[in-house]
Amino acid sequence: MERISWDQYFMAQSHLLALRSTCTRLMVGATIVRDKRIIAGGYNGSVSGGVHCIDEGCYVIDGHCVRTVHAEANALLQCAKFGVPTDGAELYVTHFPCLQCCKQIIQSGIKSVYYAEDYKNHPYAIDLFKEAGVETKKVELNYVAIDENVAEKTEVVKSLLDNLEDTSTNDQLSSLKNEAKKLFKLN
């Protein structure tokens, strides 16, 4: 097996951070890296000690959840809080940064932004990154998959297998059923 690239490694970290998100609209994670070392991480969620979207729903104004601090901002604020410099660092984020985060990223001295998914890529954010000399690059995870819906998929496969069992006598189908049981650890 081949080792994953540094870009994929840090992007996987961002996907892992996204699993901590408390926003029900979009789970985002961000990792700040300098010299191949993680210096901060963040996910989108409410202000510390505040009400979370998962508890009371999103607080939406003009199509945006205003309750949520974005993952990129949380990672940058973590650096500020603990006195960790971000000048010349790289940012790995699960989704292309919004316009406000774009400006914060530029102001913090981040030199490169790697993202896994396009998300409402604002044309002005793209222009600002170019003008500031901030490299943006899409990084896909080729070797690593983080599945947020394992339980739901397992139930669907189990239901399909149960229904197929009632209607089929095919040996090939039986073999597929046994393989699915192994993969999903079904009884």
Residues annotated catalytic, as ranges: 72
Strand locations in the chain, DSSP E?
29-34, 37-43, 60-61, 64-65, 90-95, 112-117, 135-138
Tokens in use for 56?
């009371």
What are the backbone angles phi and psi of residue 43, rounded to the nearest 5°?
-140, 160
Assign residue 120 a region: left if phi > 0, alpha if psi is -120 to 50, beta otherwise? Answer: left
DSSP state at residue 132: H
Q: How far is CA 109 from CA 16, 103, 144, 155, 183, in A?
A: 25, 10, 29, 46, 45
Angle between helices 171-184 and 150-167 (to 10 degrees): 160
